Structure 1
């Protein structure tokens, strides 16, 4: 009974960490879900960790999406096209990942974390056209990049079981020219959809621990609330927090790569 209680507490606490990070720095925290599930909670299979993490990522993104939708930060048509193309990519990516050895997958995941951390260290501009919309008149210009970039980001997201917000946001800005604020809000539609598609693919294969997923999501909601409150207090230091988090992602990535390589040579 005690191991079950400890595992549950660790899952809830790990979800809280991800939620806290999301609330503090506004994104990227979901990339910690898989390492936490494997190394903190003790999920033995990297594939189960990815499937379970995808459920948590999708649920967390949906909660944040509702907030941004109320604020008017979501470009619905652009989001729908980008997400639809990305879901196809996410399904293909998840299928490819399930066929790969778990330790190789962890090593690759760690490499991705290092790259993501480096990308996070670069500040993103806030310019763009806030009035951009997908209409019959703009479709010829906007549809190709939305479909192409959406599929590519979805493929990546499905392969690693992550939300992919760090790619979706710049991807949307590149495809449409929308400002950062709208890209963040609009990206949550895709993060929710990609996470759900990846989770469904893994669930069909029996690679989701629903009990841990529920505890992780519950912890994430509590952590997200705490992070939002703390984020207001530390609003003037968001850039510093983002830099510290990027450093954390790189450090965890190095650890995950080393553990994955050790697993391959063992």
Structure 2
């Protein structure tokens, strides 16, 4: 029965993570901690994070392959983000060692709630100026609509480092911050932001999971149970994303973040 639950957790996490560019850890980590609180699993926040990051490698691979076929991944931007998020992930795994279960859930919930608030006010925020050595790109969606987006190198590297650090710290892939930043600050089209985020999360998860493996923070038995659902969910989420409009993607993202945030805060507060 426990194995069935873990397969379903992997499937839901992989689907939602791929759909919204979050990586799936935003579902997997809280679910593992909840199963631990119900005494169904023996798990610490550190093991939950390490196991989640390992699973996100496979979610990232399946989702990235699906988005590559849809031609929605900005590889150049993704590699630039990763050049800073990779080192950030290593720093995050080191910071993760100081958390107990209750404080970990509360801080993670507050962080996700902040991100959802940013998404609510995103229409009132303007993308950062791209003067000087800024990079500008264009993207044409399947409906023929042309989007112009871009960024300056220094802000991108700073944000990417923080995203990578949060990925290693919370095991959520960093997409809950990365996707809003790409949409709000750099005017990425939502579908492109989600697809490119999954590509970055894949690379960052590799770095972060290696760091956690070295520290012994991966439960391989749980990982094997989570893996099949996460792999299939990555492909399924990308397929669903293709059928949703940009505004619907953002709406689903906001809704799921708020639900997850309040659940995490409540569980952390009552532990």
Shorter-chain TM range is 0.7 to 0.9
Matched, 1:16 2:48: no
RMSD: 3.2
Matched, 1:163 2:173: yes
Quick one: structure 1 residues 222 and 81, their matched pair in 2 at CA, closer, same or farther if it must change by over 3 Å?
Answer: closer
Mapped to 1, the partners of 2:205 and 2:184 lie a distance apart of 22
Q: In the comparison of the two structures, how many residue pairs are matched?
A: 245
Mapped to 1, the partners of 2:138 and 2:171 lie a distance apart of 31
Mapped to 2, the partners of 1:185 and 1:78 lie a distance apart of 11
Residue 105 of structure 1 corresponds to 104
Mapped to 2, the partners of 1:13 and 1:224 lie a distance apart of 13
Structure with greater proportional helix content: 1
Query: CA offset at residue 231 of structure 1?
Result: 6.3
**TM-score normalised per structure 2:** 0.75
Quick one: structure 1 residues 102 and 187, their matched pair in 2 at CA, closer, same or farther if it must change by over 3 Å?
Answer: same
SS at 1:130's partner residue? strand
Mapped to 1, the partners of 2:80 and 2:112 lie a distance apart of 27
Mapped to 1, the partners of 2:15 and 2:247 lie a distance apart of 13
Q: Of residues 206, 209, 221 in structure 1, which corresponds to 2:231?
A: 221
Unpaired segments ≥5 residues, structure 1: 1-5, 132-140
Mapped to 2, the partners of 1:159 and 1:196 lie a distance apart of 14
Unpaired segments ≥5 residues, structure 2: 128-135, 140-150
Query: CA offset at residue 45 of structure 1?
Result: 0.9
Mapped to 2, the partners of 1:243 and 1:81 lie a distance apart of 27
Q: Aligned runs of 1:88-127 on 2, under 5 Å?
A: 88-121=87-120
Residue 198 of structure 2 corresponds to 188
Q: Aligned runs of 1:240-255 on 2, under 5 Å?
A: 243=251, 246-255=254-263
Mapped to 1, the partners of 2:121 and 2:85 lie a distance apart of 25
Structure with greater proportional strand content: 2
Query: CA offset at residue 193 of structure 1?
Result: 1.8
Matched, 1:37 2:32: yes
**TM-score normalised per structure 1:** 0.76
Question: Retained in 1: the 8 A contact 2:105–2:268?
Answer: yes
Query: CA offset at residue 245 of structure 1?
Result: 6.0
SS at 2:138's partner residue? coil
